[in-house]
């Protein structure tokens, strides 16, 4: 397959939200055809540069996905499927990009705080961030403040996202931010929080940088912060 055709097919499959060959697309007729994983591997084998695959195949097509979402043609699951496809492509590309000296948009540590097992919103944010080119370090749920702080320190992460769904556990975000301050990391790490009971008032109260209602708000915030 020619380089341009291969990149176009990667882009189409991102728009279709297809990670691997067995996935259905948004439109009919894609089943069992190579999807993002197979096509990215083929592109690397064909010697296409990782940065071309990244920019011309994976990330540029997310603009199309965003437009389709804006017009109502796509729903959240379609958007997430596309972001997931980009993320799967990024997993394959990352070592090649690093070799070529190309950095990700930045490391983003994300966690649901101690005492809380809810993670749907947090997972959606993680998928979207990965799809947007961030390196996501997802610590999962019920994560103690000490572990979050250690991870931020270890990765020298510029971004941290904290999630909580309970009024009883949202207070534990406070402990994380205090811990960052004590560890001398607060100035180098921007913190956003989210989850149903949280608000911008609460973010201000505990000293977080931003409250985000959803994954789109996180991306907007990152864009503004960049």
Partner 1 sequence: MNDFRNGTIVKPHERLNQEQINRLHSTSMAILADPGIWCYNQRAADLFKQHGATVWQEETPASPCWRVQFPPELITDSLKKAPSRIILGARDPANRLEIDAEVPRVYFGSGSETNIWLETEMEEHISRSDDSVIRKLPVFTKKRGSAELLCRAAHLCEQLEHLDFFIRPVNIQDPDVNEANHDVNKFFASLNNITKHVQAGLTKLESLKDVIKMAEIIAGGPDRLRENPLISFIACVFKSPLQLVDDTADKVFDIVEKTGLPVVISSSPQGGSSAPIQETGMVAQINAEILTGITLTQLIRPGTPVLYGSVAVRARLDDLHDLYGCPEFNQYNNDCAQLARYYKLPCYSSSGVSNAQTPGMQATFEKLYTHLYMAMSGAQYIHYSFGLLDRTNTFCPVQAVLDNEHIGLIKHCLRSPVIDQETAGEAVAMIKKVMTTSHRLFTRHTRKPVRAGIVSQPYRFETKTMHDTVIEKGLEYMAELEARPVRHLDADTVNEIYNKIPGLLPRLKQSC
Q: Under a CB-based contact definition with an 8 Å cutoff, are residues 175 and 143 in contact?
A: no
Options 23-31, 45-53, 58-66, 171-179: segment touching partner 1 (CB under 8 A): 23-31
197 sits near partner 1 (criterion: CB under 8 A): no
What contacts 208, CB < 8 A, 6 or more positions away?
162, 173, 177, 191, 192, 193
- Residue 117 touching partner 1 (CB under 8 A): no
User: What does DSSP say about strands 190-194 and 210-211: parallel, antiparallel, or unpaired?
Assistant: parallel
Residue tagged 């956003």 (tokens): 192
Min separation Cβ 151 and partner 1, Å? 16
Q: Does 17 bind partner 1 (CB under 8 A)?
A: yes
d(CA 69, CA 79): 7
- On whether the CB atoms of residues 94 and 145 are closer than 8 A, the answer is no
* Among the listed residues 4, 46, 75, 200, the single contact to partner 1 using CB under 8 A: 75
In the complex, the smallest distance separating the C-beta of residue 24 from partner 1, rounded to whole angstroms, is 6
% helix / strand / coil in the chain, to the nearest 5?
A: 55, 10, 35
- As a whole number of angstroms, the distance between CA 185 and CA 23 comes to 42
Residue 124 within binding range of partner 1, rule CB under 8 A: yes
Total residues interacting with partner 1, rule: CB under 8 A = 18
Structure tokens at 82: 């596309």
Beta carbon of residue 127, minimum distance to partner 1 (angstroms, whole number): 6
Question: Whole-angstrom Cα distance, residue 10 to residue 224?
Answer: 28
For partner 1, the binding residue among 59, 61, 123, 151 (CB under 8 A) is 123
CB of 38 to partner 1, least distance (A): 17
| Closest CA relative to residue 84, chosen from 43, 41, 37 | 37
Please tell me whether residue 24 binds partner 1 under the rule CB under 8 A: yes
Contact call for residues 166 and 118 (beta carbons, < 8 A): yes
Binding flags for partner 1, 76-115, as an x/- string (CB under 8 A): xxx-xx--x-------------------------------
Please tell me whether residue 135 binds partner 1 under the rule CB under 8 A. Answer: no
Nearest approach in angstroms of CB 26 to partner 1 is 7
Instruction: Indicate which single residue of 117, 120, 146, 220 sits in contact with partner 1 (rule: CB under 8 A).
Output: 120
Contact set with partner 1 (CB under 8 A): 17, 23-24, 26, 75-78, 80-81, 84, 119-120, 123-124, 126-127, 138
């Amino acid at each position: 397959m020619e380089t341009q055709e291969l990149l176009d097919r990667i882009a189409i499959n991102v728009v279709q939200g297809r990670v691997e060959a067995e996935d259905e697309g948004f439109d009919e007729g894609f089943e069992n055809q190579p999807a993002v994983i197979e096509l990215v591997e083929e592109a690397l084998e064909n010697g296409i540069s990782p940065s071309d695959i990244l920019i011309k195949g994976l990330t540029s097509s997310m603009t199309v996905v965003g437009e389709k979402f804006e017009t109502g043609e796509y729903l959240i699951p379609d958007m997430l499927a596309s972001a997931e496809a980009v993320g799967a492509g990024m997993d394959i590309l990352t070592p090649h990009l690093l070799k070529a000296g190309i950095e990700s948009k930045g490391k983003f540590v994300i966690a649901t705080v101690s005492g809380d097992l809810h993670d749907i919103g947090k997972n959606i944010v993680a998928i979207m961030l990965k799809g947007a080119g961030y390196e996501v370090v997802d610590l999962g749920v019920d994560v103690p403040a000490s572990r979050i702080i250690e991870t931020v320190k270890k990765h020298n992460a510029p971004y941290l996202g904290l999630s909580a769904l309970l009024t009883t556990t949202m207070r534990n975000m406070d402990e994380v931010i205090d811990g960052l301050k004590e560890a001398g990391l607060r100035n180098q790490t921007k913190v956003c929080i989210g989850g149903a009971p949280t608000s911008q008032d609460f973010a201000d109260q505990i000293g977080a940088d931003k409250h985000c209602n959803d994954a789109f708000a996180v991306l907007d915030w990152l864009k503004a912060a960049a």
